[in-house]
Chains A and B, each alone.
Chain A
Amino acid sequence: MVGAPPAAPLPETENGKTETHMETAATIFGSDLFRMIVGLIGVIALVSVNALFLIWMERKVAAHMQLRPGPMEVGWHGAIQTIADALKLLGKELITPEDVDRPVYLLAPIVIFLPVLVSFLVIPFAPKLIIRDMHVGVLLILSFATLTVLAILMAGWASNNKYSVFGAIRSVAQNVAYEIPLLITVMSIILMVGSFSLVDIVKAQERYWFILIQPLAFILYITCATAETNRAPFDLPEAESELVAGFHTEYSGMRFALFFLAEYTNMFIVSALATVFFLGGWRGPFLPGWAWFLIKVYAMIFLIMWFRWTFPRVRFDQLITFAWKILIPLAFANLLLTAFVMKLF
């Protein structure tokens, strides 16, 4: 703890006492606890607003790619349509099917949401706008991102539905397969920077963005990130035409909304990481740092949405083959090349 209260003995005079109180107050406000509370409130607000915005954005992006206007009725160009939808979901009855594994079934939507919140701790929105700059930031995000699989497995297994189990099994296989190339790709960035801290990674891109010298890594990262977030063309765990709704077939109302929220927040996180790793984080002229950061993140999200509305879905065996036989060798080659070049110069 950086700002722990001083353990000095209390002064005796009244004057001194007030001073100490003020000091304590100052240390509290400057302390990690305060930072944490404000940060958490900020994160929860950001997550909700972001999800509301992203769902609207997705519908608009999809609509305009499909020659239709999309939501237009509620608010300006349907801007508050998502809020109306969220209210509707809140009012829905929570149906629990009869033969589900109750505790696991009820826990799954919560478990899927927690790691998502934790990941926000270390994302640097601007030079100072970060809840906690940890020197293991990258590891923290990637390890918590893996927990999503657990939640999907819980949901699929507990639902007691064959389609749900299918979705869960696919999700596990897919996430394991795509996590490896993702980690290796990130490794090549880490190798160049020499630090796991996200702030350090952004600082290292002072002269040029890493996308310029690591284009292959960027492509690999985006592919894996799309698969990690279960987005089309890798949306096999919830492949509609095959598995109805996959692992969340049996969820309704707000529980379903939590899965939905987690998906969109995950999209934000992988895009934020892409911004940090490849697009120079908060760097940019004229606008403040956080604005540049958000612009880059939403541009990345737009790219992921673009994929979804353009490509058909891959088949499951093709997906796994693609990861093990193409992505992992490529990621390794990129890592070796990076190491070689680093050593050379």
Chain B
Amino acid sequence: MLEPLEEKTYVLNFGPQHPATHGVLRVELEMEGEFIVKANPDIGYGHRGHEHMAENRNYLQFLPNMGRVDYLHALAYNQGYCMAVEKLIGLEVPERAEFIRVITAELNRIASHLLWVGAYLLDLGAFTPFLYCFDDRENILDLLDRVTGSRLTYCYYRFGGVLQDIDQEFIDGCRKFAKRLRSRWRDYENLVTKNIIFIERTRGIGIITREQCVRYGLTGPMARASGIPYDIRKCEPYSAYPLFDFEIPLGERGDTMDRYLVRMREMEQSLRIIEQALDKLPDGPIMAEKVPKRIKPAAGEVYAAVEAARGEFGCYIVSQGDVKPYRIKLRVPSFANLSILPEVAVDTLVADLVAILGSIDIVVPEIDR
């Protein structure tokens, strides 16, 4: 009845329901023993048709969608879309609003990175750091909840400014949080960065060269871990970022360890930006004066990009002079970042695949859109 197997390899379905895929991603693995011969990510399980939705709504109605594309760094997506629309209708954002945008977006970036660190270590089998990270992240969520009114899918920025002003309590909270997070670096270092098992699991695993980064269009911490100093906050400065002094952390080897270290150091840089922005916070309006009630831009095309937690988020809008956009294309970083998986996953173990997939920091709904 049973015939001897002739094939040496077999297929293992990694997901769509799997603890390490962070959502509904399916990776079709062709395996030989525990080694991966071929990895083929199969996406689209969480497709909601955001880009199509944009074609059926006016500009403002589409704004809440942005917080749901990447729910972890929702404010960057808010910002990217707002910047594109502002560019399209030629709207100037007041300085105070830009500062508030920077502060909240950077807070959100730290929250996103913290969640990544926790989830990544969970992938590697360490449960406790996950809750430490969530404990820290909770502070950010409380702070942002205060000004934006929500804890996860923020919709805080408006065309020409922000929804509401920040108050002294928020500013004090930010400073307190920066102090607290800095005091935690040592815990993270002792618990994770110096842990021999963690080092053994991540060093030299999933090495991505500079050339590969360029070829696949990798951005964000993925590219920076491979030594490419590409950060839109520096390369194509937007908002109030040129006013602040911060560095771009770079990796040397481009392995999963570097990706971890880059993200850890980025959090420190974000704290620096927040503190500088709080120090220099100007007075003034938080909303541009002449925001049209009905946005009906002239025909044209516009592209605006921001540095999201996972890389370059770009928003490309084509307008044909209607109240609704003709087409919106969202350039999401996770999609490009995931595309390198088949190349790096070859000849690794399943455990390494988990480490590599985790280090990419994918947000599956963002890939599927």
A interface, CB within 8 angstroms of B:
62, 65-68, 162, 166, 232-233, 235, 239-244, 308-318
Which 9 interchain pairs have the tightest Cβ spacing? A313-B125, A312-B126, A66-B131, A312-B124, A241-B20, A241-B123, A315-B351, A312-B125, A309-B128
Q: Which of B121, B132, B201, B352 contacts A66 (CB 8 A)?
A: B132
In the assembled complex, 9 residue pairs joining A and B whose CB atoms fall closer than 8 Å, in A order, are: A62-B127, A241-B125, A243-B350, A244-B19, A308-B127, A311-B126, A313-B126, A313-B201, A316-B34
Q: Is B252 an interface residue (CB 8 A)?
A: no
CB-based contact B125/A65 at 8 Å: no
Selected interface stretch from B87-95, B191-199, B212-220 = B191-199
Give the residues from 158 to 212 in chain B that come closer than 8 angstroms, CB to CB, to chain A: 191, 195, 197-198, 200-201
Q: A233-B125, A241-B125 are in contact. Are A316 and B131 (CB under 8 A)?
A: no
CB-based contact A66/B127 at 8 Å: yes
Given A166-B34, A312-B198, 15 additional A-B pairs, CB 8 A: A62-B127, A62-B128, A66-B132, A67-B131, A67-B132, A166-B350, A241-B19, A241-B123, A241-B125, A241-B354, A310-B191, A313-B351, A315-B200, A315-B352, A318-B201
User: Least Cβ distance of B139 to chain A in Å?
Assistant: 13
Which residues of chain A come closer than 8 Å to B135, judged between CB atoms? 67
B interface, CB within 8 angstroms of A:
10, 12, 18-20, 34, 121-128, 131-132, 135, 191, 195, 197-198, 200-201, 349-352, 354
A77 to B131, CA, bound (A): 20
A79 to B128, CA, bound (A): 22
Which residues of chain A come closer than 8 Å to B200, judged between CB atoms? 314-315, 318
Which residues of chain B come closer than 8 Å to A311, judged between CB atoms? 125-126, 195, 197
CB-based contact A316/B349 at 8 Å: yes
Which residues of chain B come closer than 8 Å to A68, judged between CB atoms? 131
A244 to B125, CA, bound (A): 12
Which residues of chain B come closer than 8 Å to A240, judged between CB atoms? 19, 125
A166 to B123, CA, bound (A): 17
Q: A311-B197, A312-B126 are in contact. Are A242 and B354 (CB under 8 A)?
A: yes
Residue of B nearest to A63 (CB): B131
User: Least Cβ distance of B209 to chain A in Å?
Assistant: 23
CB-based contact A232/B128 at 8 Å: no
Q: Which of A67, A166, A312 contacts B201 (CB 8 A)?
A: A312
A311 to B127, CA, bound (A): 8
Listed residue (A65, A242, A316) with the most chain B CB atoms within 10 angstroms of its CB:
A242
A313 to B196, CA, bound (A): 11
Which residues of chain A come closer than 8 Å to B12, judged between CB atoms? 162
